[in-house]
Chains A and B, each alone.
Chain A
Amino acid sequence: MLKIENLKVGFSTPEGVNPALRGVSLQLAKGESLAIVGESGSGKSVTALAITRLLQTPPAVYQGGSIFFEGQDLLKASDAELRKVRGGRIAYIFQEPSTSLNPVYTIRSQIAEMIQLHRPDVHDIDSEIIHWLDAVGIADPKSRLHDYPHQFSGGMQQRVMIAMALSARPDLLIADEPTTALDVTIQKQILDKLSQLQRDLGMAVILITHNFAIISGLARHVAVMYRGEVVEYGESRQVLREPRHPYTKALIACIPRLGDHRRRLPTIGSLQQ
């Protein structure tokens, strides 16, 4: 379904173009789940945003490669074609739910906008919205339809984002660090919910995270990124047990484990010689 081949993206600065992605290749089949793991600056978010050309150009520059979605190269697609894919086929949820929702519109109007845009055949929009809010685990959705984003807690806001993304019934959901900004207790709830929804809807999911600990259970495959390249790729269980690349090993070693009696938690220094 999705095939990224040798994607190269850079950011132009007064001193030249800084490479952010140095030839990333990934693929994903229908209904599959993939996690992209790496530290800050590894290029994982850039990859995610690049898929539907959501990066601001300038300063971003697409330097090469291709992104095939259902046979179409999105890097060469027209604006109109791209807009059909965005939201309707590939949906996103982002890291900061509190700033990712428009503060001056009710959640009803924002979700309705999504439905009206991508599923014009739906006639009873309110019921549809309530259905999705319920599906993500928001209590008493009917009474909260006309609330504003700031009236929800962080975890709730993220659930609203998920509901909004899913209401267009996309084939692929890209979740960019969806729980990084949330409480640890909420994190698990959201991730479990995402996992359940993925199973129920048979949707493909790409999960971006820097936290190796959360990918098991949600992502079947994992791609480890370091400095703009994919350094390891495989089934998550396999990679976790037998990491091959030194960076992956270091990342896994960083996961704090209950019962670990070491005094200092390991960190990752620079792998550059």
Chain B
Amino acid sequence: MTSFILRRLALSVVLLFIISIISFFIVTLTPGSPYPWGELNPKISAEVKANFRKKFHLDRPLPEQYAFIMKDLFKGDLRSIKDDRPVMGKIMERLPATLALNFTAILISLSFGTLLGVYAARNAGRWQDIVCSFVAFLFIALPGFWISYLIAIILVKGFGVPILGTHSYGIAFPNHLAAYLDTIWHLLVPATILALGGIASQSRYLRATMIGTIREDYIRTARAKGLPEETVLYKHALRNSVRPLVTGIGLLLPALISGSVIIESIFAYPGMGRLGYEAVLERDYPTLVALNFVVAALVLLGNLLSDILYAAVDPRVRLE
């Protein structure tokens, strides 16, 4: 197990390096003015522009710019063009909220995705399976911003249900537990909408794998032992079909954060997605570089953790 972890760790470091290069190039290579006030604005003197370029190292060759930005990033010195606050600081502020939201969304995706996937596999070919497929594709085809908007406006303006932000405004809670539950409540609606795509993809992957697993000999053995069908499916078949769930998490994470860019804005949720959206509007490119990088790094970490989890579940993988 340890050698497996070490190998995965080494691979992750390589990937992290490539991620940093991609992040850097995306932003600095795109043509277009890096200045927030426009290239041709006559009010800004050449000197101010030169100073700006110097401050953000824009006058140096690209590899040096990369080195500077990476150094600043890791030292926590990278500063936002918008308000000159350290970018890492801004990201860290939003991190807990983002983690809470995405973790919840992953839980919802995995649990409902598993239920749906097993149900579809069990009834493969029959109408129940077709309905599950249809529902799955419906979830993926649903435009996130559209359904979020509908739900947000209808619930808030139509029924007066407080779901925006992280806690209900203007209400005092009798104790910590109530306040905590209120926060969870606010988390639930955006997390569920975020999770819809995940439920769909997880159920599809799982269904495909399960259909194959169910045909294996050891499932016949399990039935021959007299086990009830639920046990056969959920204990024997599922544990052997975990691979797509794990790789699915790897693909799910970046998709969740993508989705959260719009959904956080609509639900006024103070996470990294919203920070990203604001940074895009303001062309705050140090923030954009850092944000893309941090998110990709987090996804990498998530992949590493889920691979380790998978190796814990399936002993055959440790030998790979």
State if A and B touch, Cβ cutoff 8 Å: yes
Q: Which residues of A contact B (CB under 8 A)?
A: 52, 54, 83-88, 91-92, 94, 96, 99-105, 113-114, 117-118, 148, 150, 161, 164, 168
The answer to whether B315 touches A102 (Cβ under 8 A) is: no
- B window 199-238: CB within 8 A of A: 216-218, 220-228, 236
Whether B218 pairs with A101 at a CB distance below 8 angstroms is yes
Could you tell me if B217 and A104 are in contact, using CB atoms closer than 8 angstroms? no
Contacts of A104 in B (CB 8 A): 239-240, 313-316
How far apart sit A96 and B226, CA to CA, in the bound complex (Å)? Answer: 19
Residue of A at shortest CB range from B229? A79
Q: How large is the interface on B (under 10, 10 to 19, 20 to 34, 35 or more residues)?
A: 10 to 19
| Inter-subunit contact A103/B224 (CB<8 Å) | no
Q: Which residue of A lies closest to B239 (CB)?
A: A104
Cα distance A52–B221 when bound, in Å?
12
Could you name 25 residue pairs across A and B whose Cβ atoms are closer than 8 Å? A54-B220, A54-B224, A83-B226, A86-B223, A87-B224, A87-B226, A87-B227, A91-B225, A92-B221, A92-B224, A94-B217, A94-B220, A100-B220, A101-B221, A102-B222, A102-B239, A102-B240, A104-B239, A104-B240, A104-B316, A113-B227, A117-B225, A117-B227, A148-B315, A150-B316
Given A148-B315, A150-B316, the answer on whether A100 and B225 have CB atoms closer than 8 Å is no
Bound Cα distance A9, B1 (Å) = 49
Residue pair A84, B226 in contact (C-beta under 8 Å): yes
Give the chain A neighbours of B240 by CB distance below 8 A.
102-104
Pairwise interchain contact A99-B225, C-beta atoms closer than 8 A? no
Q: Which residues of A contact B226 (CB under 8 A)?
A: 83-88, 117-118
The smallest beta-carbon distance between A7 and chain B, in angstroms, is: 18
Residues of A within 8 A of B239 (CB): 102, 104-105
Report the bound CA distance from A216 to B142 in whole Å.
67
Q: How far is the CA of A103 from the CA of B213 in the complex (A)?
A: 12
Best-surrounded residue of A88, A113, A161, A168 (most CB of chain B within 10 A):
A113
Q: Identify the closest chain A residue to B224 (Cβ).
A: A92
Known A83-B228, A94-B217: A103·B316 in contact at CB below 8 Å: yes
The reply to whether A87 and B225 contact each other, CB–CB distance below 8 Å, is yes
**Cross-chain contact B223 with A100 (CB below 8 angstroms):** no
Chain B residues with CB under 8 Å of A88's CB are 226
Q: Is the CB of A102 within 8 A of B224?
A: no
Separation of A85 and B240 alpha carbons in the complex (Å): 27
Task: Check A83 against B227 for contact (C-beta < 8 Å).
Answer: yes
User: In the assembled complex, how far is the CB of residue B223 from the closest CB belonging to chain A, in whole angstroms?
Assistant: 6
Q: How far is the CA of A206 from the CA of B240 in the complex (A)?
A: 31
**Which residues of B come within 8 Å of A, CB atoms?**
216-218, 220-228, 236, 239-240, 313-316
- Known A-B contacts A96-B217, A103-B240; A113 and B315 likewise in contact (beta carbons under 8 Å): no
Partner of B218, one of A83, A87, A99: A99
- Nearest-neighbour CB distance to chain A for B128, whole angstroms, equals 15
Chain A nearest Cβ from B313, distance in angstroms: 7
Most chain A Cβ neighbours within 10 Å, of B217, B222, B225, B313: B225
Are the CB atoms of B218 and A91 closer together than 8 Å? Answer: no
The answer on a CB contact under 8 Å between A103 and B218 is: yes
The 3 A-B residue pairs whose C-beta atoms are closest, nearest first, are A87-B226, A86-B226, A99-B217
- Of all chain A residues, which has the CB nearest B316? A103
Say whether A54 contacts B223, CB under 8 Å.
yes
Contacts of A99 in B (CB 8 A): 216-218
Q: CB-CB < 8 A to A52: which residues of B?
A: 224
Report the minimal beta-carbon distance from A96 to chain B, rounded to whole angstroms: 6
Q: Are A100 and B218 in contact (CB under 8 A)?
A: yes
**Docked CA distance A261–B280 (Å):** 89
Q: Which of B217, B226, B227, B236 has the most CB of A within 10 A?
A: B226
Report the minimum CB–CB distance from B108 to chain A (whole Å): 26
CB-CB under 8 A from B221, the residues of chain A are: 92, 94, 100-102, 161
Question: Which chain A residues border B222 with CB–CB below 8 Å?
Answer: 102
Per the bound structure, the CA–CA distance linking A150 and B314 in Å amounts to 12
In the bound complex, CA of A88 to CA of B228 (Å): 13
Q: Give the complex CA separation of A92 and B223 in angstroms.
A: 10
CB proximity of B16 to chain A, nearest CB, Å: 31
Nearest chain A CB to B206's CB is how many angstroms away?
16
Residue in A87, A96, A168 with the greatest tally of chain B CB atoms within 10 Å? A87
Provide the bound-state CA to CA distance between A88 and B224, in Å: 10
In the assembled complex, the Cα of A114 lies from the Cα of B227 at a distance in Å of: 9
Give the complex CA separation of A86 and B222 in angstroms: 10
- B217 nearest CB neighbor, chain A only: A99
A91 to B225, CA, bound (A): 7
A87-B225, A148-B315 known, 19 other contacts, Cβ within 8 Å = A83-B227, A85-B226, A86-B226, A87-B226, A88-B226, A96-B217, A99-B217, A100-B217, A102-B218, A102-B221, A102-B239, A103-B218, A103-B240, A104-B239, A104-B240, A113-B225, A113-B227, A118-B226, A164-B225
Cα distance A83–B240 when bound, in Å?
A: 23
* CA gap between A96 and B224 in the complex, in Å: 15
What is the chain A residue whose CB lies nearest that of B227?
A117
What residues of chain B lie closer than 8 Å to A84, measured between beta carbons? 226
CB neighbours of A91 from chain B (8 A): 224-225
Report the Cα distance A103→B218, complex, angstroms: 8
Neighbouring A residues of B224 by C-beta, 8 Å: 52, 54, 86-87, 91-92
